[in-house]
Amino acid sequence: MPTCRRKRVVLTEPSEALLQAAKSNPNKEVYYLQQTGEIFETYEAYAARMSFYRLKQFQCEVTGKSGLDYFQALESEQQEAQTMHSRFPEPLKAAVLKAVQWQVVGRLDHLVEAVFDRFKDRYFVDEKVFVDAQGDKFYAKVVQVQPPKTKSESVGVPVENQASSSSVPSPPHGIADDDAVQFHKIGGDLKIPAKEALVRDDPLKYIYKVQILEEQHEKSHEKGKAASKDKAKWSGTFMEVQCSVISRDRLAFSKSILRRFIRDCVDRDAAVASPWTVKPVIAKHYGVDSVMPEETRKGVEDIKRGEIDKRKKIWEDKEGPPTKKQKKMTAAQEERVKALAVAAEKREREAREKAERQQKAKEEAERLAAEKKKKKPIRYPTEDLDVRLNDKEKKAGLKVKKPTPSKLGLPFGEDQGTFEAFLTSWNFLVIYGQPLHLSTFTMDEFEHALRHSLVDPPCALLGEIHSTLIYNLRTVPFTRHSAVLSLLRLQDTLEEDHRVLGVSVDELAGAMADVGNNWERIPLRHTEMRDGWEEALLGCLKDHATLDNFPRLREVLTRLLFAPEPAEVSSSSSSSRVSSPAANNLSVQSSPSERYYALPPADRIDILTLMCNLAVSSKAVHSHMESCEEQLTALRKEKIEIGRQKKQYTEEMNSLAGEAEVKEPVTNGITPDEDTMMHESSDLSDVPSEDGSETASTSSARQKRSARQKDLRQKAHTQAHAKQRELARAQAASAKQALAEHRRLDEEVNKLERRLEAIEREFRKLLGAVRIKPLGKDRFHNRIWWFDGMGSASLLGSGGVVQYGTGRIFIQGPSEMDLELMLKRDDDDYEARRLEEEGPEGMLAPSEWAQYAEPEELDEFLAWLNPKGVRELALKNSFLKWWNHIAPGMRKRISDLNISAKLPEARRSTRTKSSGHDVSREPYMMWTNRRAVNSV
């Protein structure tokens, strides 16, 4: 049976009313779900059940595959069951089922272990097995089973191949195939202990006659034609073997497939010590007795009684035995009691002394271990709570106390539950702005819009948010008039004239009857300022909301449909803020378009929270999440490829730099060959004459020779300088080319780095649509959140302009689990340390929120983080990674608030505006939905 959230899906049974109607009116039309055989009286129930079955949240119980709808999971289970039954040996099924019938075993795994140990060495007629003979493994079929004999026979003696198996003479102790199920009757009986069954019915004493079969896939494993011919010679022959040389195919018989077979064929009641029973249909097919024998029934009852008595005894030991009136003892009995008391006191004293000695030894061992631990150097980073600032670090200026985050600055921070719902709604609307066709807006604009209380001018942001959610919820299945039905069920549990805000349930239901009935067809056009969205909102609440998913349903609907009397309104405006309970009564029926802006912000947030929770299951949001998953995969691949290119470019740049260093000494002088040639040419001019005297005849010859040598020397110098200049030009051109190549590679690396930064920003946007993770945790497990740049929001606008969503860092207190782990530590001063380092105002309870809104506060918080701890090191690295976007976003938010602020901060939460203040020029009133132009 497919499972949903680890629970089996139970089919819907027809109601008693439907069964009675079928008897009285057999021709009554109903809705029949063919795949499951379920019958429904209304189409809404049929469609809701079919939508439930189509959700991709079911799991195949056999294979464990998840993400399937109900019919895919059911088909997977049927295919796996068919495959399992085809693989499991057919001759073994009846024996296994008879063995497990009426067995009282607590866990299925223990039953599987017992059955596997009993049948792993026992084989049956017509079973396909592997036989080891003379070092080869043959695929064979068991044709006959012989029970234990008086004399041992030779194992593995081949019998000549006959014309047919019927012509082979039967062994004297052979048993017919019809009685094959009687084999191993003692060994397969789980009621008999394993050791006794092994002695009385030893599997090693059975003789099996098998016939070697010819298998094509076996021949393909042979090496050489000779081995193949030799193996073919055995095909069709008969052998008598024992279980020691026989084995089953692991795909046909193993603990896992045996467990699946038994689980598919047996069942068990939920009562204490209930036996495993084979399902009736399967028991009838394999001839398993479905009637429990009287002896077995008594044994099961004894086991049940023993289990119940055992539990009762444990309970009595906990509660203590009942007190009884003691009888007066005799003198002998008193002496005996005194002696026993003395002996017991002596034993208690000895035990106490022994415990004291053991305690002292334990304390000594702990002291030695502590000293050894102190001597061992600590390797950082380590557990954050094990890191403490020493005196030297304190003197160096490291901060001991964390800057206190602000709780009052949170939007609607007076109620932590309201703020968390507000934060969740804003985050959903911003992240899924693309499938909702909604432009992004800041948290401040969202807060001011929810506080907007004027009917004229209307707030476009509120209209766009509700209209896009209403369009989205039209695709989500709903039950017509679910809110009315829920309120009528509530009325049955209340007093007859119970009223909320002066309105009864009947009056509220009557007022709801004619409002918002066609909400799923009302056109809420962007060009018409979403006219009529308030009535459509009420209709959406009528069909989607119940008291289960919207506890304040009655109060909100009453405020949307009823208004106070005009006299009460005028008197309340002139009176003080404190009003009597009678002034809160709403007695005049009104319309949602007039009453929505009178709703308190908490009710508006509750409405948006409900709509966002319902919109999560819409097709548009699911398709967007799947698209984000695909884009994330593509970005991961691109990031890997960019990393490879960057590494390649860096290696090329390093090689160019190395070549430049090698060529540098040559460029500053002449090459060795040129230097030698110049020296040789200069030596020619200094060769002495062979004659010692200078005559007139030789003088002219020497002058000619000297002129010729001077010409040669000049020519050599000219050629050497020309080669030197040519070499210098070549080296300069090469260096210039290398420098240009280095600059090109450097530019390519810079492009890749800029692309990596863009990938990180895009990765953050897409990942926010799938799952949201905090930046990290501090030493006390407070979670640090930064919600900017996720989903449809961006960290940079056109032209690289900084953008922000919240412009703040939020701190969430530790979870209950983290708090328990911290309290279980050996540190006795944990609370004192939190008080010292966080302060009484900075200690956040579980699920409590605070914020850092100033960059200076965040700088102090970063200075307080200690990178010697694993959590704070990871947190600090996350801050450094995104610091170029976090700090500018915070500064831009402060600048925008200073520019647009018209009222003091202390009066920000007031609903009424001064007469001289133009509300339409507020930033939240000037917001426009640019994504709605081509959508709805």
DSSP characters over 194-228: HHHHHHHS-GGG-EEEEEE---HHHHTT--SHHHH
Q: Considering only 55-59, 110-114, 315-319, which range has the smallest mean pLDDT?
A: 315-319
- Rounded to whole angstroms, the Cα distance separating 590 from 511 reads 9
A 10 A CB-CB count for 532 gives 19
A 10 A CB-CB count for 870 gives 17
Non-local (6+) Cβ contacts of 21 within 8 A are 28, 41
- Rounded to whole angstroms, the Cα distance separating 650 from 643 reads 11
pLDDT of residue 702: 75
CB 869 within 8 A of CB 387: yes
pLDDT of residue 602: 94
pLDDT of residue 223: 47
- Rounded to whole angstroms, the Cα distance separating 54 from 58 reads 9
Could you tell me the pLDDT band of residue 784, with boundaries at 50, 70 and 90?
Answer: very high
Q: Quick one: average pLDDT of 743-761?
A: 91
For the record, the structure tokens of 888 come out as 């500018």
State the DSSP code for 371.
H
Q: Which residues of 17-50 are buried (b: 16+ CB within 10 A; e: fewer)?
A: eeeeeeeeeeeeeebeeeebebbbbeeebbeebb
At residue 168, the 3 state secondary structure works out as: coil
- Rounded to whole angstroms, the Cα distance separating 640 from 633 reads 11
Instruction: Tell whether the model's pLDDT for residue 886 goes beyond 50.
Output: yes
CB 145 within 8 A of CB 181: no
Q: Who has greater pLDDT, 655 or 850?
A: 850
pLDDT of residue 628: 93
Non-local (6+) Cβ contacts of 86 within 8 A are none
A 10 A CB-CB count for 912 gives 10
At residue 245, the 3 state secondary structure works out as: helix
CB 258 within 8 A of CB 112: yes
Could you tell me the pLDDT band of residue 864, with boundaries at 50, 70 and 90?
Answer: very high
Q: Who has greater pLDDT, 454 or 567?
A: 454
H-assigned helices in 664-695: 672-684
Non-local (6+) Cβ contacts of 522 within 8 A are 532, 535, 536, 539
pLDDT of residue 252: 87
Task: Determine what percent of the chain is predicted with pLDDT higher than 90.
Answer: 30
- Rounded to whole angstroms, the Cα distance separating 286 from 739 reads 86
| Spacing of C-alpha 130 from chain mean position | 45
Q: Nearest Cα to 890, choosing from 802, 812, 811?
A: 802
Could you tell me the pLDDT band of residue 165, with boundaries at 50, 70 and 90?
Answer: very low
A 10 A CB-CB count for 151 gives 4
| Spacing of C-alpha 729 from chain mean position | 65
Cis preceding-peptide flag for 457 (omega within 30 of 0) = yes
- Rounded to whole angstroms, the Cα distance separating 543 from 546 reads 8
Instruction: Tell whether the model's pLDDT for residue 909 goes beyond 70.
Output: no
pLDDT of residue 681: 43
Type of residue numbered 575? S
Instruction: Tell whether the model's pLDDT for residue 23 goes beyond 80.
Output: yes
- Please give the biggest Cα pair distance in the chain: 168
Instruction: Tell whether the model's pLDDT for residue 752 goes beyond 80.
Output: yes
- Rounded to whole angstroms, the Cα distance separating 709 from 720 reads 16
At residue 82, the 3 state secondary structure works out as: helix
Q: Quick one: average pLDDT of 668-693?
A: 44
Q: Quick one: average pLDDT of 6-25?
A: 84
For the record, the structure tokens of 141 come out as 């079929």
Could you tell me the pLDDT band of residue 387, with boundaries at 50, 70 and 90?
Answer: confident
pLDDT tens digits, residue range 713-730?
A: 888 888 888 888 888 888
CB 620 within 8 A of CB 468: no
Q: Who has greater pLDDT, 917 or 29?
A: 29
Q: CA–CA distance from 321 to each of 305, 318, 480 (Å)?
A: 20, 9, 60
Q: CA–CA distance from 466 to each of 83, 208, 818 (Å)?
A: 52, 79, 38
pLDDT of residue 327: 52
- Rounded to whole angstroms, the Cα distance separating 430 from 449 reads 15
H-assigned helices in 165-290: 194-200, 216-219, 225-232, 255-265, 280-285
- Give the DSSP H or E segment for 746: helix 696-770
Q: Which residues of 290-310 are buried (b: 16+ CB within 10 A; e: fewer)?
A: eeeeeebeebbeeebeeeeee
- Rounded to whole angstroms, the Cα distance separating 558 from 570 reads 21
pLDDT of residue 171: 40
Could you tell me the pLDDT band of residue 672, with boundaries at 50, 70 and 90?
Answer: very low
pLDDT tens digits, residue range 840-853?
A: 888 999 889 999 99
Instruction: Tell whether the model's pLDDT for residue 903 goes beyond 90.
Output: no
Q: Nearest Cα to 713, choosing from 692, 686, 694?
A: 686
| Spacing of C-alpha 13 from chain mean position | 34
Cis preceding-peptide flag for 381 (omega within 30 of 0) = yes
Non-local (6+) Cβ contacts of 49 within 8 A are 12, 33, 38, 40
**Extended beta strands in 473-534, E state:** 499-500, 503-504
Instruction: Tell whether the model's pLDDT for residue 164 goes beyond 70.
Output: no
Radius of gyration of the chain (CA): 45
- Rounded to whole angstroms, the Cα distance separating 714 from 13 reads 117
- Rounded to whole angstroms, the Cα distance separating 723 from 162 reads 100
Could you tell me the pLDDT band of residue 220, with boundaries at 50, 70 and 90?
Answer: very low
Q: Nearest Cα to 831, choosing from 815, 847, 841, 843?
A: 843
Q: Who has greater pLDDT, 210 or 180?
A: 210
Instruction: Tell whether the model's pLDDT for residue 322 goes beyond 80.
Output: no
- Rounded to whole angstroms, the Cα distance separating 498 from 512 reads 18
- Rounded to whole angstroms, the Cα distance separating 901 from 894 reads 10
Q: Quick one: average pLDDT of 661-668?
A: 53
Q: Considering only 337-346, 426-435, 450-459, 621-630, which range has the smallest mean pLDDT?
A: 337-346
Instruction: Tell whether the model's pLDDT for residue 52 goes beyond 50.
Output: yes
At residue 389, the 3 state secondary structure works out as: coil
Q: Quick one: average pLDDT of 591-601?
A: 91
- Rounded to whole angstroms, the Cα distance separating 872 from 875 reads 5
Type of residue numbered 195? K
Q: Quick one: average pLDDT of 202-226?
A: 68
Task: Determine what percent of the chain is predicted with pLDDT higher than 70.
Answer: 82
pLDDT of residue 543: 92
pLDDT of residue 771: 87
Non-local (6+) Cβ contacts of 446 within 8 A are 422, 426, 429, 461, 924
The residue written with tokens 């002996």 in the block is 343
When the pLDDT of each residue in the chain is averaged and rounded to a whole number, the result is 81
* Angle between helical axes of 443-450 and 416-431 (0-180°, round to 10): 120
- Rounded to whole angstroms, the Cα distance separating 231 from 219 reads 8
Q: Who has greater pLDDT, 166 or 76?
A: 76
Q: Quick one: average pLDDT of 358-365?
A: 87
CB 218 within 8 A of CB 249: no
pLDDT tens digits, residue range 224-251?
A: 454 555 556 677 888 899 998 999 988 8
**Extended beta strands in 492-645, E state:** 499-500, 503-504, 562-563, 588-589
Instruction: Tell whether the model's pLDDT for residue 470 goes beyond 90.
Output: yes
H-assigned helices in 55-151: 70-87, 90-100, 108-119
Give the strands of the sheet with 809-812, arranged side by side: 776-777, 783-785, 809-812, 849-852
pLDDT tens digits, residue range 682-698?
A: 444 444 444 444 455 56
For the record, the structure tokens of 599 come out as 């709703």
- Rounded to whole angstroms, the Cα distance separating 690 from 678 reads 24
State the DSSP code for 41.
S
CB 130 within 8 A of CB 137: yes
